[in-house]
């Protein structure tokens, strides 16, 4: 299990690297614009403004005010002073290599910003999550209790594959934070429904204790 988790995280990090390497900065801006329009259409302009303000706050707190974003740019792109100090190499990469690196870093930080915004949007669904989880959990526990009072046996296959389904849905929700495609707000409750359905089957088919 631990090896599978590490492998899944490596795939997710590889996705982030591929996005930063090959997706254009224009495309990332179009993704943000499209998702903003979908948020306004679904939640309204006021809620979209709250989500954007919260996202900007956390992005600034984590990466701007700490100096992390500026440090990354300075690490890969020399300043004008550093160029002048490098006699004979002042213009090396000025018009080709370093503009390309800067565009890749712009995409990386846009992806980080969009990841935070999608996470904030997912948090907006927490009231729905609380309401949705309770009946599924209660139903699963009741079904398990009923099976303990008769001769019904829980299905180990249903238990195992419901666990796989739950973990797979949670992983897809994680991967969706950095996908280079517009994610509609409705994708969150769909993923939550899959998870709580898997939890229901998992609880109903938990093995009886001896």
pLDDT single digits (tens) 185-197: 888 888 888 888 8
pLDDT value of position 149: 75
Kindly report, residue by residue over 43-86, the tens digit of the pLDDT: 888 988 999 999 999 999 999 999 999 898 888 887 767 666 66
CA distance 149 to 100: 67
Both structure tokens of 6: 């590490």
Taking 3-state DSSP, the helix, strand and coil percentages for the chain, each rounded to the nearest 5, stand at 80, 0, 20
Backbone region of residue 67 per phi and psi (left: phi > 0; alpha: psi in -120 to 50; beta: other values): left
First-to-last alpha carbon distance for the chain, in angstroms, is 25
pLDDT band at residue 210 using 50, 70 and 90 as cut-offs? very low
Burial class (CB in 10 A: 0-12, 13-18, 19+), 168: middle
pLDDT value of residue 90: 61
- State both tokens at 193: 């429904």
């Amino acid at each position: 299990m631990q090896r599978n988790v590490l492998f899944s995280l490596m795939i997710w990090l590889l996705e982030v690297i591929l996005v930063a390497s090959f997706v254009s900065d224009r495309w990332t801006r179009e993704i943000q614009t499209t998702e903003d329009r979908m948020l306004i259409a679904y939640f309204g302009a006021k809620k979209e403004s709250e989500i954007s303000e919260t996202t900007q706050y956390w992005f600034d707190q984590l990466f701007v005010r700490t100096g992390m974003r500026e440090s990354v740019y300075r690490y890969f792109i020399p300043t004008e002073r550093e160029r002048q100090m490098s006699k004979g190499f002042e213009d090396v990469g000025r018009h080709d290599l370093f503009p390309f690196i800067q565009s890749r870093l712009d995409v990386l930080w846009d992806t980080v910003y969009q990841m935070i915004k999608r996470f904030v949007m997912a948090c907006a669904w927490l009231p729905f999550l609380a309401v949705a989880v309770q009946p599924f959990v209660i139903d699963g526990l009741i079904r398990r209790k009923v099976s303990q009072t008769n001769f019904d046996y829980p299905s180990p296959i249903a238990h195992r594959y419901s666990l796989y389904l739950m973990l797979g849905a949670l992983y897809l929700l994680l991967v969706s934070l950095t996908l280079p495609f517009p994610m509609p707000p409705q994708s969150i409750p769909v993923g939550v429904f899959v998870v709580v359905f898997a939890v229901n089957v998992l609880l109903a088919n938990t093995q009886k204790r001896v």
